[in-house]
Structure 1
Amino acid sequence: MYDSNVLADLTDQLERASEHELYSQAFADAGIDPTDIESWEDFQQVPFTEPSDLKADFDDYGPEGSLYTEGAMISFSPLGDDLAPMFDTQADLDYEAKVNADVLADIGIEPGDRVINTFGYHLFGTGYLLHRALEELGAEVFPIGPGDSEQAAGTIEQFDVDVLIGNPSFAMKIAEEGATVETFVGAGEPFTSIPGFREEMKAALDCETAVDYFGSRQVLPIASETAQEDGLSVVEEYAIVELVDPDTGEPLELGERGEVVVTHRHKEGFPLVRYRTGDLAELERRDGDLVLPDGVIGRTDDRLKIKGVKFYPEAVPAVLAGFDGLTGEYAVRATRPDSTDHLEITCEGKADEDDLDAALSERLLISPDEVTVVSELDESGVVDERY
């Protein structure tokens, strides 16, 4: 799926990762020698890194874990109920700034543009990483951070700001204060995967461009849209992306739906190899680029198999968010009357049931047997009564 240049970098990255106890032990247990990786198929025999593996490593080698790199910047990322330290060396920070600057330039941000950055600078450091990228690009950055939508809106008006970067939900609050910009970059929450949300955001901010950006604190960036607003292109200079079956771990073909697995292409501090993100997406090849056409459309944490098709309840909220009259609360019930799977989805609020049924069927790749809208749910959640 990737060319020989990517494979050569992956081999180097595996050797770098094997210097840390987490991967040294994992490779040894799997009988993997990084120098023997000669094909993409060889690479896909390398064991996954699970969030539970990281948790165990922090427990065994705490507080930094065995991926600790001396002299690196230390920030944090949620890991279950805890916060896990992340490490970025000076070389990492420089490279991340360059890669992200290229991504932001493809979005249409230009040198001299004024940018409000509402991602957090403290503890998690996401705002800091994007700030460095914007400076690399030559933009003028306002390190506003999250929290005060009125202040952010006032700054946008007073200083004629061109670009707003941040969580879509916070951006909507800023828009409610009357702010307008030319470009919005949304990340950290579902955005374009919610039908109609892009158009709603563009109308609220009166902006010409609104794009989706996908990354995690562990791997930033993973994929991003360009100014054409036509799906998130994998940032292959930084992240190697696979899709696997969440149940078996087997690689999936392009066009299939599965779990996003990422590997750093170049990373000194906290290198990750075949890290299972738990994010649900599809991949396609478009003009040589790998693209997530619909972005991240849910989570793989809880899934059911209905009529032989994998059903992801976490994909339902993104559909519901496209209907103004729905509260977002829903209940899923799977039964098996007469030895046949039966899927019922009940939603709270007001919406046309036929329109909702069609939207759910398109996104879930399975047609519910019954879609009902009620004014108030007795109980939300997922219930499987088949067994």
Structure 2
Amino acid sequence: MIASYDSAELRRPEDREAEDFVQLKEVLRKALLLPYCATAMRDECPDLVDNREVLAALPVTRKSDLVQIQKSSRPFGGMLNHAPAIASHLFVSPGPVFEPEIDRPDPWNGARALFAAGFRSGDVVLNTFSYHLTPGGFLFDTSARALGCSVIPAGPGNVETQLDLIEGYRPVGFFGTPDFLKILIEAAATKGRDISSIKRAAVSGAAFPPSLRTYVESRGIDAYQVYATADVGVIAYETSAREGMIVNEHLIVEIVWPGTGNPVPAGEIGEIVVTSLDWRRPLIRLALGDLTAAMHGPSPCGRTNMRIKGWLGRSDESTKVKGMFVRPEQIVEIGRRHQEIQRMRL
């Protein structure tokens, strides 16, 4: 028996699929009480959505459209049950897109991913994701504390202070972007600082190419990728098998032809569409704009959920800068405000 966070990770795939669609029916019933869903899915019957083929016929909500959807009904566009009373924190991501943190244990469903990366109760971890307005810092903070870890809320930047914190607290773990982990490693080497206590890392928000992974591992740090978004939380994560990423529990992930919502053949590259089984924030077929492909068969690690190849690019023109999305319409708005800018390119 593998060391798993919970028994849900080890369910037979057919049992998971059946249980997820039973839960989805209840989520859809509550979603249809919300203004946005009542309009977008007004002709749908929740009791009929009992498999992926029927689910694929439901309309897609594009992540890139959330700005306009929310403008029509502040703050969450009529997409949240009991808003904002059920939220413990209220964030805003670039766009702006308003994001709630649901008030419950492990609100971003990240503890399972951190467990797979080797984090355990009692670990001290350095969290370098931002705690300012966007949810990245809180996502990893609450996930780690759900495991029983102690978190140093460092945030990004301030390399000298980060090195002081590492030498003072001797954390065994690091949370942050792969690039910032490299910056800390290089700064420690240049300045003769000791960061040897860090043995594990959960990285997200940017590409983690094999060359950078090899560099990090050569410094004695075992790093795992976590795929997460501000709207859904943790979607998929690496395990010790190092063969793709395991889709998180309580999500239904589809891979579709970009812009269509129609599923691609097994193994083909397509856009990630996620349905969350949390009735408090029922995200139904949210198209993220990220590309990936499903992998065949279960993971050698023993976890039985769907595997994906990780992040393979974007299906639209947005890009990430230090873990934050920048969209074409934002660049246009900058040009409108600053007439002295003659040329712009994203």
TM-score, scaled to structure 2: 0.78
- Structure 2 partner of 1:23: 37
User: CA offsets, 1:120-162, max 9 Å, x none?
Assistant: 1221122123212211211121111112122112211222210
Distance 1:188 1:167 in 2: 6
Name the % identity.
28
Counterpart position of 2:238: 225
Q: How does 1:1-387 map to 2 (within 5 A)?
A: 3-28=17-42, 31-68=43-80, 69-71=83-85, 72-78=87-93, 82-90=95-103, 93-96=104-107, 99-178=109-188, 179-180=195-196, 181-191=198-208, 194-203=209-218, 205-207=219-221, 209-237=222-250, 239-269=251-281, 271-287=282-298, 288-293=304-309, 295-301=310-316
How many residues end up aligned between the 2 structures? Answer: 296
Bigger radius of gyration among the two: 1
Query: For each residue in 1:319-366, what CA deviation from the matched residue of structure 2 results, as whole angstroms up to 9, or x when unmatched?
Result: xxxxxxxxxxxxxxxxxxxxxxxxxxxxxxxxxxxxxxxxxxxxxxxx
Higher relative contact order (CA 8 A, sep 6+): 2
Q: Give the strand-richer structure, 1 or 2.
A: 1
Shift of the 77–225 alpha-carbon distance from structure 1 to 2, 3 Å rule, reads farther
TM superposition shift of 1:7 = 0.8
Name the Cα RMSD after superposition.
2.7
Residues 74 and 85 in structure 1, CA contact (< 8 A), matched pair in contact too: no
Compute the displacement of 1:67 (Å).
Answer: 2.2
1:41-89 residue CA offsets vs partner (Å, 9 max, x unmatched) = 111111000135423322221244212413123433435xx22211233
Distance in 2 (CA, whole Å) between partners of 1:152 and 1:16 is 45
Comparing 280-289 and 140-149, the one that deviates more: 280-289
Q: Cα–Cα, structure 1 residues 114 and 289, in superposed 2: closer, same or farther, change >3 Å?
A: same
Contact 2:105 2:146 in 1 (8 A): no
Mapped partners of 1:277, 1:124: distance in 2: 17
Change (3 A) 1:64 1:300: closer
Q: Which runs of 4+ in 1 moved over 4 A?
A: none
In structure 1, the residue matched to 2:335 is: none
In the TM superposition, residue 222 of structure 1 has moved relative to its aligned partner by 0.2
**Structure 1 residue 247 displacement after superposition:** 4.3
Quickly say closer, same or farther: Cα 1:38–1:63, change in 2 above 3 A: closer
Unaligned runs of 5+ in 2: 1-13, 189-194, 299-303, 320-344
**TM-score between both structures, scaled by the size of structure 1:** 0.70
- 5+ residue gaps, structure 1, are 303-312, 315-380, 383-387
Q: CA deviation at 1:176?
A: 1.5
